[in-house]
Amino acid sequence: MFDLVDIHCHTLFGIDDGATDENTMKSMLDTAYSDGIRAICFTPHFKTYEFDDDSEFEDYRKRIDDSFSVADLYVKEKYPDMTLYLGNEIMYHNEILDSLKAKNCTSLNGSSYALVEFQPSTSAFEIEAAILRILRTGYRPVIAHIERYNALIKKPSLVSELRNMGALMQVNARAILRFKFGKISKFIKQVLKNKQVDIVASDAHDNTVFTQQLSKSMLFVSKRYGESYAKKIFSTVPKAILNNEKIH
Ligand SMILES: [Fe+2]
């Protein structure tokens, strides 16, 4: 069994719609550790339209830093072999690159990989244009929970087009286990079979069994699509992202 690496979760408390308080955050960290996760990158939502002015950005960053300090202290004492990192799940917007430059939001562990999400209804054209724009400025986008976008579900060939451009594809662990029938299930099976998923992450928002399913999902993928592929998308690639290594 290899170490699991989770690069998308909302475990930091008091920031977004993730952990509501310190105890919830700590119980989520306990669950993550017992699930076999040894590296976590916290990715609080970053939605630029939620900020009215610079002081709100400052307040947001301060809350993240404070919450991270609590998590870091807890993990260092209780789980010294687990490492914590910081990033954001960035809702795509036109000023995304200005926000990254101004450090109002951050890429995954400050690497050249940025976790980006879109609205479920964003068109294929808009997604392609956005990916191109991010790539041109030197960041490699990791597209969060690709199973949520109608444009990709309708036209799965877009996944290979986006990967050829340089984007990386992330799927949520629970989606792999949850969708047994229907178009989302068909889409997930197809991209896994074609080995077009680059990363699986928890996207955990709370401590329910429903959200904390990384190891269960890894075993499912390992059995169906092979252990080496499971290792790659649950451990090797997410680790390489956090280390800012080049991924082919
Ligand atoms: Fe998320």
Q: pLDDT tens digits, residue range 131-151?
A: 999 999 899 999 999 999 999
pLDDT at 102: 82
Ligand 1 center to 204 CA (angstroms): 7
pLDDT at 219: 96
SS (H, E, C) the chain: CCCEEECCECCCCCCCCCCCCHHHHHHHHHHHHHCCEEEEEECCEECHHHCCCHHHHHHHHHHHHHHHHHHHHHHHHHCCCCEEEECCEEECCCCHHHHHHCCCCCCHHHCCEEEEECCCCCCHHHHHHHHHHHHHCCCEEEECCHHHCHHHHHCCHHHHHHHHHCCEEEEEHHHHHHCCCHHHHHHHHHHHHCCCCCEEECCECCCCCCCCCHHHHHHHHHHHHCHHHHHHHHHHHHHHHHCCCCCC
- Right CATH for 4-242 from 3.90.650.10, 3.40.390.30, 3.20.20.140, 3.30.1360.40: 3.20.20.140
Q: pLDDT tens digits, residue range 17-73?
A: 999 999 999 999 999 999 999 999 999 999 988 888 888 888 999 999 999 999 999
When mean pLDDT is compared across 29-38, 156-165, 208-217, the lowest value belongs to: 208-217
Ligand 1 center to 8 CA (angstroms): 6
Ligand 1 center to 215 CA (angstroms): 18
- pTM of the predicted protein model: 0.96
pLDDT at 11: 97
pLDDT (average), residues 92-103: 86
